[in-house]
Amino acid sequence: MVLKDVFKRPLLDLRISVTDRCNMRCRYCMPREHFDNNHTYLPKSDILSFEEIVHVVESLLPSGLRKVRLTGGEPLIRKDLHKLIQQLRALSPELDIALTTNAHLLSNSIELLKQAGISRITVSLDAVDTDVYQAMGDTTSTPDTILDSIDKSLALGIPVKVNTVVQKGINEHQIIPLITQMSSRDVPIRFIEYMDVGATNSWNLDHVVTGKEMRTLIEKEFGTIQSIEPDHPSDVAREYTTRSGSVIGFIESISNPFCGDCSRARLSANGSIFTCLFATKGFDIRGILRMDASKKEISKAISSIWSQRKDRYSETRSEKTDSERIEMSFIGG
């Protein structure tokens, strides 16, 4: 039976954070002054094993789960991630298994991920200009490394999408060069409005470039863009196509929220279920997992959490930010 929340939204998509650590320090996500040597990351013993993650996913398949997305933190710093994908793939040939990554470590692991049965990859890339990329990500890596990994993934036949967070005064001027780079590869790109997630990035409405503003900028360069019907109502990106056929999406959590069809739950690296990206608390299921709960018991626990879900944060947000909010690197982006 399909799980439905208070607003009749099904649970179709589980985002699984496999680690709260990362090899970048994006200013909008893990600013170095907060995520430095004094920051306490989860101890290894708190982090769910691959077997525990697989147990959770298996318990949700009968109630309609159709997609999992491995994320973090940076999922590729979790050792042997391909083995988790292998185990998930063994559950069902139909399960959509996606990965969101900054792609620093993608080149070396891509063949293993492919063999393990990954369905698709989303690569985060905020700029093609090296200085802008390095400043936003607080990294010494270069966009060329990321473009190379995209090319390697495509060469293996793995569908790739690119995600770009746009911050006012920082990288709007990268929108056109990014579209040009991705069009030449036939890779859809999605521009994300900078969100007020977490409590460390000093988010302010003035730093947001809205989807509408981005579309105006894009139309000046490429002419009118046409909106495309979504494949599924729960798709987070609103997609458009340019006259030459490039696909451009916008994730407008701030200016055009999409809570009405939100069918996503998050599983944090330490085994808590969060029913919204902006939740201030999760529901621990590691406890019952480690007491050898059966699939039926896990499913029952998650059903009871989901059936009480009323989250629609993006539709009700105000400019006031909540200091208790959980960091995206912890909850899973």
Residue ranges that bind ligand SAM, judged by CB under 6 A? 22, 28-29, 71-72, 74, 100-102, 124, 163, 165, 192, 194-195, 197, 201, 328-329, 333
- Regarding 267 and contact with ligand SF4 (CB under 6 A), the answer is no
Q: Which does 192 bind (CB under 5 to 8 A by kind): ligand SF4, ligand SAM, none?
A: ligand SAM
* Rounded least distance, CB 268 to ligand SF4, Å: 13
Tell me the three state secondary structure of residue 30: coil
CA gap 254, 174 in Å, rounded: 20
Both tokens of 62, joined, read 């009968």
Number of other residues whose CB lies within 10 A of the CB of residue 47 = 21
CA gap 179, 6 in Å, rounded: 39
- Regarding 298 and contact with ligand SF4 (CB under 6 A), the answer is no
34-93 binders of ligand SF4 (CB under 6 A): 72-74
Out of 26, 65, 81, 182, the only residue in the binding site for ligand SF4 (CB under 6 A) is 26
Out of 59, 102, 181, 246, the only residue in the binding site for ligand SF4 (CB under 6 A) is 102
Instruction: Give the residue with the Cβ less far from ligand SAM, 101 or 321.
Output: 101
- Regarding 311 and contact with ligand SF4 (CB under 6 A), the answer is yes
- Regarding 248 and contact with ligand SF4 (CB under 6 A), the answer is no
Amino acid letter for position 292: D
Instruction: Give the residue with the Cβ less far from ligand SF4, 281 or 290.
Output: 281
Cα 210 from chain centroid (whole Å):
19
- Regarding 29 and contact with ligand SF4 (CB under 6 A), the answer is yes
Query: How far, CA to CA in Å, does 316 sit from each of 21, 62, 251?
Result: 30, 32, 17
Instruction: Give the residue with the Cβ less far from ligand SF4, 11 or 289.
Output: 11
Both tokens of 131, joined, read 């200085």
Instruction: Give the residue with the Cβ less far from ligand SF4, 304 or 316.
Output: 316
112-131 binders of ligand SF4 (CB under 6 A): 124
Q: Which does 197 bind (CB under 5 to 8 A by kind): ligand SF4, ligand SAM, none?
A: ligand SAM
Amino acid letter for position 314: S
6's CB contacts (< 8 A; 6+ apart) are: 307, 308, 309, 310
Out of 191, 240, 306, 313, the only residue in the binding site for ligand SF4 (CB under 6 A) is 313
- Regarding 278 and contact with ligand SF4 (CB under 6 A), the answer is yes
Tokens 């991920």 belong to residue? 113
- Regarding 13 and contact with ligand SF4 (CB under 6 A), the answer is no
Tell me the three state secondary structure of residue 284: strand
If we measure between CA atoms, which residue out of 27, 25, 45 comes closest to residue 36?
25
CA gap 79, 222 in Å, rounded: 43
78's CB contacts (< 8 A; 6+ apart) are: 18, 19, 72, 84
- Regarding 153 and contact with ligand SF4 (CB under 6 A), the answer is no
Task: Report the interface residues with ligand SF4, using CB under 6 A.
Answer: 22, 24-26, 29-30, 72-74, 102, 124, 258-259, 262, 264, 276-278, 311-314, 329
